[in-house]
Amino acid sequence: MKKLTYLLLLLTVTSCNDILEEKPVGLATAESYYATPKGIEDGLKATYSTLRLFYGKQESFFLTVTGTDVFTNGFGGVTNFPDINNYSANLLGTNGMITTVWNNFYIGINQANAVINRAPKVEGLSDSERQRIIAEARFIRALSYFHLVQQFGDVHFSLEETIGVQTTAKRTAVQTIYNEGIIPDLQFAIENLPATPAKVGRVSKPASEALLARVQLTLGNWAEAERLAASVIKNYNFQLVKPFASLWDIGNETNSEVVWSVQYTSDPLTNGTGNQSHLFFIFDYAQNPTIIRDLANGRPYQRFMPTNYLIKLFDPAKDARWDGTFKTVWIANNKGVINGHNVSPGDTAIKIVPYPVADAVQNAAPYWLIDFNDNWVGGNVTNLEFGGGQRRRFPAVKKFLDPLRASINAEDGRRDFFVIRLAEMYLVAGEAAWRQNKSAEAADYLNVVRSRAAVAGKEKEMQITAANVNLDFILDERARELVGELDRWYDLKRTGTLLERVKKYNLDASPNIREMHLVRPIPQTQIDRVTNPGDFLQNSGY
């Protein structure tokens, strides 16, 4: 199937006359261009392009992965953006990460509103094509509002395109945004989108059901969440990819498990700043004397480091997701000496193990042997220990590695970003079933995911019973399956466990996190811009 090509248009952006005059692309205006079938389709592509402003960018990871029980700041996180993870006094509305996410989602929402409001007037479209275009735009609008209400609580809500300068805004209650925006948008998408999209990357009926399942789980509508997730599982041709590691093969992006992904490309003319996920979960392996930074091992920004808790969640002897998720062995590509041993290209240079190793064994190994002694990874640990080298030594998440980049320093990755995959639907259905006191059914759903995750020959050992299912187990299973996939902060918030688990498992954040941190601060630029500040107050505590 052909991949979706995005298009970035400026037709609905105000105050861009100088840009258009300097580099004219014709005499098109929003009124004239969006009035044509090609124009409205291009407007829809531009709506899709706004998703690249979030998925695969470091802002999305800082706001959903770090500051949780499973990830804290690595060396690069401490050096550059410590406050989101740490919930420090400097976490304010002036934070650039938070402001960027706020602004970009509203860009997407306004672009979606433009398509939704203008498509009914376009001549030359069949009814089915018109409804499909509107439905795709409504899905993206729903997704954007879903992120905003989870991050910020009550936010400005509009279903109409903004043209010109608007200087007033009001905060609408979260439940109103769900009831009048997110849920009806997704219901419309379910009713009007095909089961199989014409192009990879287009949203579809099952993608809409899956996103609505997430929404209903967040709202506590357990039966509806289970029904929607079960529909995605049973009514389409999705299948879990086996083994788990092959799911992340960059040559296997269009696979049977992906319900919907945000598209990137190898074409620098259309890829923009690219998928940058590959940068953030890698430690500085090039400090090893026998390794020179290369494409295969990635460019190490070292933003995010697994907590002790995440490391201890895995049993590598039976759960293949440890090796499928984390890179723990590096091979030398340069001659050097380690512990008195001559090391040549092709030899092991670094090996990370999730258990203690005697100092004498470490000091005699012909490679860096980095062990785990369950000392806090952000504390005073030794050099060859998880968190050593000032948070530079830790298992690297390899899901997002991109060895097909143009150069070793290239940031613009080409890997697609998996937004929804089938395994998550089993987890949603399992949690929703458990919430309805159907523990046996919950175990059945979870066991499908755990069977796929099993090391060969360990399938029976990975199975659970109804008695094993509780909220802690569900959260632990989601942590094992969805490492780094932009879910964790949302999971902890919706289950009411964010404060408890961060205080217990993230020692960088535990002294600071409070009830106020269940929402982010409203960007100060937004508050400063409105002419009715009394109607647009900052979130409490900030």
Helix count and strand count (H, E) for the chain: 23, 11
Q: Are residues 76 and 162 in the same domain?
A: yes
pLDDT of residue 2: 61
pLDDT for position 8? 55
Q: What is the mean pLDDT of residues 55-59?
A: 98
For the segment 336-372, what is each residue's pLDDT rounded down to a tens digit? Answer: 999 999 999 999 999 999 999 999 999 999 999 999 9
Is the CA virtual torsion 153, 158, 163, 165 positive or negative? negative
- The C-alpha angle 132, 134, 137, rounded to 5 degrees, equals 110
Q: Is residue 269 part of a domain?
A: no
Query: Is the same domain home to 22 and 124?
Result: yes
What pLDDT, on the 0 to 100 scale, is given for residue 31? 79
Task: Kindly tell me the sign of the dihedral angle through the C-alpha atoms of 322, 443, 255, 253.
Answer: negative
Least confident range of 7-16, 36-45, 189-198: 7-16
Check whether residue 356 and residue 432 sit in a common domain: no
Span 282-329, pLDDT tens digits = 999 999 999 999 999 999 999 999 999 999 999 999 999 999 999 999
Whether residue 115 contacts residue 47, with contact meaning beta carbons closer than 8 Å, is answered with yes
pLDDT at 18 over 60: no
Asked if pLDDT for residue 26 goes beyond 70, the answer is no
CATH code for the domain in which residue 21 is found? 1.25.40.390
Residues 388 and 449 in one domain: no
CA distance between the termini of the chain: 48
pLDDT in tens, 239-278: 999 999 999 999 999 999 999 999 999 988 889 899 999 9
Domain check: are 388 and 302 in the same one? Answer: yes
Looking at the structure, tell me whether residues 10 and 121 fall in a common domain: yes
Same domain, 5 and 136: yes
Q: Are residues 502 and 479 in the same domain?
A: no
pLDDT more than 70, % of the chain: 95
Give the integer Cα–Cα distance in Å for 471 and 178. Answer: 25
Kindly tell me if the per-residue pLDDT of 27 is higher than 80: no
CA–CA distance, 517 with 537 (Å, rounded to integer) = 16
409 in a domain, yes or no? no
For the cut 80, the answer to whether the pLDDT of residue 30 exceeds it is no
Residues 391 and 322 in one domain: yes
Average pLDDT, the chain: 94
Instruction: Collect all residues with Cβ–Cβ distance below 8 Å to 405 and sequence separation of at least 6.
Output: 278, 295, 412, 413, 414
Domain membership of residue 358 (yes or no) is yes
Write out pLDDT tens, residues 373-427.
999 999 999 999 999 999 999 999 999 999 999 999 999 999 999 999 999 999 9
Domain presence at residue 173: no
How far apart are the C-alpha atoms of 241 and 321, rounded to whole Å? 13
Judge whether 462 lies within some domain: yes
What CATH code is carried by the domain that includes residue 447? Answer: 1.25.40.10
**Binning pLDDT at 50, 70 and 90, where does residue 163 land?**
confident
pLDDT beyond 60 at 211: yes
Please list the alpha-helical segments (H only) found in 349-419. Answer: 359-364, 388-391
Whole-prediction pTM value? Answer: 0.95
Q: Are residues 226 and 285 in the same domain?
A: no
Give the pLDDT confidence score for residue 165 in this predicted structure.
83
Domain boundary (397, 424, 456) is at 397
Mean pLDDT, to the nearest integer, of 203-213?
Answer: 98
**Overall number of domains in the chain:** 3
Q: Which residue range is the domain that position 325 belongs to?
A: 280-397
**21 and 161 part of one domain:** yes
d(CA 340, CA 484) in angstroms, rounded, equals: 37
284 and 257, same domain (yes or no): no
**Which residues, in sequence order, are CB contacts of 384 under 8 Å at separation 6+?**
362, 368, 369, 370, 371, 393
Strand pairing partners for 200? Answer: 3
Of 47, 62, 53, 37, the residue nearest 11 (C-alpha): 47
Q: Cis (ω within 30 of 0) for the bond into 243?
A: yes
pLDDT for the residue numbered 23:
35
Q: What is the pLDDT of residues 458-484, one digit of tens each?
A: 999 999 999 999 999 999 999 999 999
Which pLDDT band, with edges at 50, 70 and 90, does 7 fall under? low
Q: How far apart are CA 233 and CA 537, in angstroms?
A: 43
Are the C-beta atoms of residues 4 and 45 closer than 8 Å to each other? yes
